[in-house]
Structure 1
Amino acid sequence: MSAATLSRREFLRACLLSLGSLAFSPLSAVFQETGFGKLGRIATRELDLYSQPRDDSPIVGKRYRDQIVHIYEEVISPKGPAHNPLWYRVWGGYLHSARVQKVRLQLNDPLSQVPEYGQLCEVTVPYTVAYEYKNGWKKWDSYPLYYETIHWVTDVVEGPDRQPWYQISSELTDYLVYYVPAIHLRPIPDEEYAPLSPDIPAHKKLVEVEIRTQTLRAYEDGQEVFSCRVSTGIPHLNPTRQGIPTETPKGEFRIFSKMPNKHMGSVTGNPDAEERGGFSLPGVPWTCFFVDTGVAFHGTYWHNNFGVWMSHGCVNMRNEDAKWLFRWTTPVYELPIKSRRDWERRGFGTRVIVK
């Protein structure tokens, strides 16, 4: 089976023959109803469904976390909100895009083996449910692994459905290991995240974040080469349990640590933990840390609301934007990887100004 988007018939056949109900049952029923097209995943506990693309129109229903919706049309509403006027027309009404993650479904050829030091992989389905093996197979007590999250695969095993599953190892701790169907993850070739503009001297690169406009800009020798909208930390939110303010700090910094994936928050948790102020986010993609309290640039899969404060202090970015920044900044993420110690690269890196 090639790593390509499947027809509806091929997908249903793959579910029956390759996945089984254990690994993919939450999605198979949804796709039988919706077919293919533009898809979105609800990325919050519940989301209001409106009769029109405006938040003063009647609420006609709700959609709930991890439901998959078919996006029939993307609408820019003159009624806003101003920072993000994008709405999605779905079955029964309209959803504002802020908490809808656009997703695809791509199944992949499993690798027969992976290097001892790991293979970087990306989730290419709306979500996949991870399992652990402790006196038998059982669901991992945390979030599912979501579309475009990044993970280190360290082994290929026979899963509970007798199909190839990948063993994923967390960079947080050696004992945290879990498993997902191999066809749900795409191996990322080295050239896809190799350094950009390596010929530009490091001291001529600058990243600037303007909190007022929620904008990030990158400069080479004073010339702007990249810009995007971001979401910085929410001011005046209660500090974290460690007493760290949630507002993104202003000042001049240096990127000092880069990791293509990072498990943020607690080691384990569940989606409802965020209602109590906690979170567990495995596989956060393309992280560049620039403040030693844990503030980083990184990709985001739990909201689509860039241009307004959203975070606990980090600079949230669209995944493709975070990937560009990861590749462009220093310290250089040197490839190929030769050991697990190489999962993180540290050094005196690109200058960052937050103002």
Structure 2
Amino acid sequence: RTAIYQEPREHSWVVRWTLQDELMNIYETLTGPEGPAYNPFWYRVWEGYIHSAYVQTVHYRYNTPLVTVPQSGQLAEVTLPYTQAYQYSRNEGWQLHYRLYYETNHWITDIIEGPDRQPWYELTSEVTDYLINYVPASHLRPIPPEELTPISPEVPFEEKRLEVSLGRQFLTAYEGDQVVYGAKISSGQGQKDVPVGTRTPKGEYHITSKSPSKHMGSLSASGAPGSYSLPGVPWTSFFIYETGAAFHGTFWHNNFGVTMSHGCINMRNEDAKWLFRWVSPTYEANIEDRSGWDVRGYGTQVLIID
């Protein structure tokens, strides 16, 4: 739950508490007079002000459905605040399943007629071919190959590196000695490093694999403490293979500049997408089969520092 305040500060009167996935109009973005310093941004909404930490800014953008889907699948992103996915079986018919959120990425593997007699996409998980969901086709935007092409591929492998400052909660991308990109991040919380705890460990690493769509957590959250299920996490670039620590887009919070994760490096979706395209190993935009849904190899250097 997130509070709507009478004024843009945390010690103001609470007008009410919001509900999960509640939609509201944002009329203005402003800097709160009392911060907090790491994330001072507030939104003016109908009843007052809400801090940006757990607010995802979204849009409604409907799309023209595809006529055919490549045998290798088609990557696509959700362009509505969320879309309700269903599963189907002959015995039980259409059953509610996941809720898929704005700017999450998913693999389209077929087009069918949905329960409303409109085109629906079959979405297949990259984890297993047996995890299939269906959503209205107009709710997803197919991602064209040009949005997946590498950034500055001419730069020699050894010239690219990423530095993540845990103290500053900031990522910097270098080509040689030149800074080419910077972004606020949220690293792992806690006092102990993964895998014992959830703090992101310091050290030198390399990108080991990349996937534009990744199901994180369990396939179905149990409700137990720490249990979560996040289908379609976008623009994932793993750097610690053993623990699954990765750079990736984030749709469940907007609180960058402070630790928030279970060990991964949370990023804004647009920042994670840039990084995905910039780091090696190179992801091939035009894939031949489902083995191309991810790419593995010895990739760009990653330095996690204080």
* TM interval, short-chain normalised: over 0.9
Is 1:248 the counterpart of 2:200? The answer is yes
Is 1:300 the counterpart of 2:250? The answer is yes
Is 1:287 the counterpart of 2:239? The answer is no
Q: Counterpart in 1 of 2:167?
A: 212
1:246 alignment partner AA: T
Separation (CA, whole Å) in 2 of partners of 1:102 and 1:269: 25
Any idea what the Cα deviations from partners look like across 1:39-94, whole Å, max 9, x if unmatched? xxxxxxx1111100000101111111111010011111121111011111111111
State the Cα distance separating 1:203 from its structure 2 match.
1.0
Is 1:317 the counterpart of 2:274? The answer is no
Q: Counterpart in 1 of 2:276?
A: 326
Separation (CA, whole Å) in 2 of partners of 1:117 and 1:278: 32
Q: Counterpart in 1 of 2:50?
A: 95
Separation (CA, whole Å) in 1 of partners of 2:196 and 2:232: 23
Q: How does 1:91-240 map to 2 (within 5 A)?
A: 91-135=46-90, 136-140=93-97, 142=98, 144-236=99-191
Aligned residues with identical type, % of pairs = 56
State the Cα distance separating 1:174 from its structure 2 match.
1.4
Separation (CA, whole Å) in 2 of partners of 1:104 and 1:258: 27
Distance verdict in 2 for CA 1:244–1:160, change over 3 Å: farther
Q: Which secondary structure state, in structure 2, belongs to the residue aligned with residue 325 of structure 1?
A: helix
Q: TM (normalized to structure 1)?
A: 0.83
Any idea what the Cα deviations from partners look like across 1:233-252, whole Å, max 9, x if unmatched? 00237x88xx5420001000
Select 1:266's aligned residue among 208, 218, 221. Answer: 218
Any idea what the Cα deviations from partners look like across 1:298-328, whole Å, max 9, x if unmatched? 0000000000000000000000000000000
- Report runs of 4+ in structure 1 exceeding 2 Å deviation: none
State the Cα distance separating 1:334 from its structure 2 match.
1.7
2:234 alignment partner AA: P
State the Cα distance separating 1:113 from its structure 2 match.
1.2
Separation (CA, whole Å) in 2 of partners of 1:265 and 1:172: 11
Separation (CA, whole Å) in 2 of partners of 1:56 and 1:203: 49
Separation (CA, whole Å) in 2 of partners of 1:202 and 1:124: 34
Q: Which secondary structure state, in structure 2, belongs to the residue aligned with residue 276 of structure 1?
A: coil
Separation (CA, whole Å) in 2 of partners of 1:207 and 1:78: 33
Separation (CA, whole Å) in 1 of partners of 2:202 and 2:246: 13
Separation (CA, whole Å) in 2 of partners of 1:86 and 1:155: 41
Q: Counterpart in 2 of 1:25?
A: none
State the Cα distance separating 1:110 from its structure 2 match.
0.2
Q: Counterpart in 2 of 1:257?
A: 209
Separation (CA, whole Å) in 2 of partners of 1:283 and 1:209: 24
Separation (CA, whole Å) in 1 of partners of 2:220 and 2:114: 22
Is 1:278 the counterpart of 2:236? The answer is no
Q: Which secondary structure state, in structure 1, belongs to the residue aligned with residue 57 of structure 2?
A: strand
Is 1:348 the counterpart of 2:298? The answer is yes
Separation (CA, whole Å) in 1 of partners of 2:4 and 2:33: 18
1:192 alignment partner AA: E
State the Cα distance separating 1:223 from its structure 2 match.
0.9
Any idea what the Cα deviations from partners look like across 1:116-161, whole Å, max 9, x if unmatched? 1100000000000000001211111x3x100000000000000010
Q: How does 1:52-71 map to 2 (within 5 A)?
A: 52-71=7-26
The structure that is helix-richer by fraction is 1
Separation (CA, whole Å) in 2 of partners of 1:164 and 1:194: 29
Which ranges of structure 1 fall in alignment gaps of 5 or more residues? 1-45
Separation (CA, whole Å) in 2 of partners of 1:57 and 1:108: 41
Separation (CA, whole Å) in 2 of partners of 1:193 and 1:305: 27
Q: TM (normalized to structure 2)?
A: 0.96
